[in-house]
Amino acid sequence: MAYSGDPISAHELLFKPAHSIIDQSLHSTMGATTTNGDGFGIGWYSDVAPGPGCFKSIEPAWNDVNLREVAARIRTPLMFAHVRAATGTPIQRSNCHPFRHDNWLWMHNGAIREFHTVKRELTMAVDPTLYPDIEGSTDSETLFFLALTFGLTDDPFTAVARAIGFVETVGHRNGVEFPFQGTIATSDGTSTWAFRYSSEGKSRTLFFSTAVETLHKTHPDLAILQEVGAEGRLIVSEPLGDLPGAWQEVPESAAGVVRPGDDLLQPFEPIR
């Protein structure tokens, strides 16, 4: 889940909504696995320190007392939250999302298939100056570093397209039919880019919230809307709550950006 907008309490975002992300870690209805109990993480930007902070843990999100304590005391204009269902790599903090590099955060729901087979080729393509910054062993973090190598900090749309394109090229070379699956969110603290794509054309779900002014008119009494403000946006894997008209689905093979001023939603295709 990615939030951007007026500063909001992390506790509001994580624990308040019906079918919150914490609830999703226990009872996911749309994810690939019902329970996502292999760790969680939040990354948040604030004015108290430069760069985003990351609180990540291998405890199931629904149990972590420190998360509740900390979340209630964070006010942030931009926050990522993730619950992990591991796809084969160890359960450890360094394998939890979001991943961070400089002031960028990155989350990925999905997988690079047959990662064990293609891992060496992929990591060897990471820029040598970036390679030693890889902390963990996940496919998601490797993809992040490929995107950084291909210029994420200059042009995220192109960089992610090239990264996924490279993953597909290497995958096919190694006999993997559908190398990539998933949704991605990444931010530099001001704008948030989101991607929905899979090699097989059947991707994990991705939703973004309707503009709040619209919701204000249709649901004037809904508490969380008071806090969120006109620029407030949520990008989620599964809708938080059942509010009709509050969520719009990101189409297959699409990418978008949420930022002050105009947002953008456009088709997405890997670059080989």
Give contact residues for a second copy (rule: CB under 8 A): 9, 11, 26-27, 34-35, 37-38, 44, 46, 48-49, 53-60, 62-63, 65-66, 69-70, 72-75, 86, 90-94, 116-117, 119-120, 123-124, 128, 131-132, 134-137
CB 50 → a second copy: shortest distance, Å?
9
CB 63 → a second copy: shortest distance, Å?
5
CB 150 → a second copy: shortest distance, Å?
18
CB 39 → a second copy: shortest distance, Å?
9
CB closer to a second copy out of 120 and 272 = 120
The closest of 89, 84, 96 to 115, measured between CA atoms, is 89
CB closer to a second copy out of 90 and 260 = 90
CB closer to a second copy out of 28 and 209 = 28
Give the per-residue SS3 of 108-172.
EEEEECCHHHHHHHHHHCCCCCCHHHCCCCCHHHHHHHHHHHCCCCCCHHHHHHHHHHHHHHHHH
Give the whole-angstrom CA distance, residue 80 versus residue 54.
9
CB 56 → a second copy: shortest distance, Å?
7
CB closer to a second copy out of 88 and 251 = 88
Name residues whose C-beta falls within 8 Å of residue 49's C-beta, 6 or more positions apart in sequence.
Answer: none
Largest CA distance in the chain: 55
